[in-house]
C-alpha cells in the first residue's frame, strides 16, 4: 500500500477520522504494518499498552480475563484496538486473538503524541470526543449506582 492508500484507510477508522489529512499523513508514514497468523495473540489482557493497532485485514476476538467465550467481541477491518494506549500508559483490558490471518497497522504512542503536538486542532477534536464519551460513561455508571442503591435499601 502507498502512503495515500494508508491515509485513505485511516479516514475510514472511527476516532482517527476526526484528524486532518496532514495529521493522518504523519501516522501513515510512521505506522508499522504487522502480519498476524490465525490463532496468534496480538496482545494479552494486562499487557502494557504502548500504542494502538488498526485492523486492516482479518478479524480479532477480544476477550477479557475471566469472561465466558460468549462474552467475547469480534472486530474486523477499521477497528482501532488500544485507543487509550495511544494517549497514556495503560494495561490492555482484553486479549486480542486473530481468528484468521490478519494485518494490522501499529501506531506507537510516541508518534501519536508528536502528531497531536503538531496539529492542535486535531488534538482539540479528540479531546472533545473523549470528554463526551467520558461524560456518557459517567452518566451510565451513575444510573447503575442508583439502581444498585435501590436494591441495598430493599
DSSP letter assigned to residue 47? P
Report whether 96 contacts 81 (CB < 8 A).
Answer: yes
Helix axes 109-118, 120-153, angle to 10 degrees: 120
Q: What is the pLDDT of residue 109?
A: 96
State the pLDDT at residue 66. Answer: 58
CB atoms within 10 A of CB 25: 17
Which domains does the chain carry? 3-153 (2.60.120.10)
In angstroms, what CA-CA distances link 87 with 11, 74, 82, 102? 19, 24, 9, 25
Query: What is the helix (H) or strand (E) element at residue 53, kind and residue range?
Result: strand 51-57
Rounded Cα gap, residues 123 and 32, in angstroms = 22
- Run of H or E including 35: strand 32-36
Per-residue pLDDT in tens (0 to 9) along the chain, 154 residues: 789 999 999 999 999 999 999 999 999 999 999 999 999 999 999 999 999 999 999 999 999 875 556 678 999 999 999 999 999 999 999 999 999 999 999 999 999 999 999 999 999 998 898 888 888 888 888 888 778 877 766 5
Amino acid at each position: 500500500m502507498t502512503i495515500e492508500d494508508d491515509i485513505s484507510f485511516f479516514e475510514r477508522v472511527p476516532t482517527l477520522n476526526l484528524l486532518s489529512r496532514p495529521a493522518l499523513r504523519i501516522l501513515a508514514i510512521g505506522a508499522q504494518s504487522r502480519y498476524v497468523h490465525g490463532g496468534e495473540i496480538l496482545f494479552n489482557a494486562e499487557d502494557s499498552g504502548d500504542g494502538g493497532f488498526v485492523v486492516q485485514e482479518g478479524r480479532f476476538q477480544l476477550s477479557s480475563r475471566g469472561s465466558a467465550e460468549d462474552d467475547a467481541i469480534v472486530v474486523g477491518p477499521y477497528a482501532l484496538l488500544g485507543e487509550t494506549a495511544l494517549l497514556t500508559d495503560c494495561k490492555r483490558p482484553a486479549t486480542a486473538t486473530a481468528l484468521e490471518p490478519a494485518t494490522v497497522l501499529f501506531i506507537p504512542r510516541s508518534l501519536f503524541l508528536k502528531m497531536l503536538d503538531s496539529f492542535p486542532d486535531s488534538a482539540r477534536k479528540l479531546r472533545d470526543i473523549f470528554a463526551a464519551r467520558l461524560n456518557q460513561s459517567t452518566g451510565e455508571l451513575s444510573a447503575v449506582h442508583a439502581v444498585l442503591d435501590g436494591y441495598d435499601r430493599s
